[in-house]
Amino acid sequence: METRMAMVLGLAGACLLQIPGARAQTTEQPDSGAPAASATILSDRDIEIMRRDVRSQKKQLIASNLRLTEAEATKFWPIYDQYTQEQIKINDQKCALMKEYAANWGTMTDEQAATFIHHWLEIDQATMKSRSKYVPIVRAVLPGVKTATFFQLDRRISAMLDLQLSSQMPLVQDQR
């Protein structure tokens, strides 16, 4: 699983924009007062391709680590696909928020920063609400141990992707 996790993390750019200053948290500032990192903003098409790759890798990770019988798999995978579609909508919001962050970084006001964190928390809440909604749905087709295993895997993968995303974002205070 560790090799596959590394592959997922390698593709964690699913929504990563090369935000100015994202490569390293540095206190060194060039004479212009802007962070010292170069940036290339990925196209929407590039981002979508990476997101699709991450979803594919995630499904492969779950398939290789969640030991399902054929009968369980027949019932589970359509539910997983529905769950994934719901998560895609939430991740669309996350992507939009990261694009907005990238666009405003360097000139972000206190109000924009407060709005940013508020929206980020709303997205986290939407993710948890979706997971909570799907626990009994998955539980209806899988035994408790396998249901718990699926949600453990989902949370682990999501946590690693979120860590990758967060670590690529420069701190708001570093814009000044």
Between residues 129 and 30, the one the model is more confident about? 129
* Percent residues over pLDDT 90 in the chain: 44
Q: What is the structure's pLDDT at 145? A: 97
Residues in the chain: 176
78-127 pLDDT, tens digit per residue, is: 999 999 999 999 988 998 898 888 888 888 899 999 999 999 999 999 99
Mean pLDDT, range 11-37, rounded to an integer: 39
The 3-class SS string of 89-132 reads HHHHHHHHHHHHHHHHCCCCCHHHHHHHHHHHHHHHHHHHHHHH
Q: How confident is the model at residue 44 (pLDDT cuts 50, 70, 90)?
A: low
Structure tokens at 18: 């090369």
At 120-160, the pLDDT tens digits run: 999 999 999 999 999 999 999 999 999 999 999 999 988 88
C-alpha 127/C-alpha 86 separation (Å) is 9
Q: How confident is the model at residue 39 (pLDDT cuts 50, 70, 90)?
A: very low
Residue 24 has pLDDT above 80, yes or no: no
Ramachandran sector of residue 106 (left: φ over 0; alpha: ψ -120 to 50; beta: rest): left
- Statement: residue 1 has pLDDT above 60: no
Whole-number Å distance between alpha carbons of 69 and 38: 49
| pLDDT band, residue 48 (cuts 50/70/90) | low
Helix (H, G, I), strand (E, B) or coil at 41: coil
CA triplet 11, 169, 118: central angle to 5 degrees?
110
Report the C-alpha gap between 173 and 79 in whole angstroms: 42
Indicate the angle between helix axes 2-10 and 144-168, nearest 10 degrees: 40
Rounded Cα distance between 148 and 2, Å, is: 20
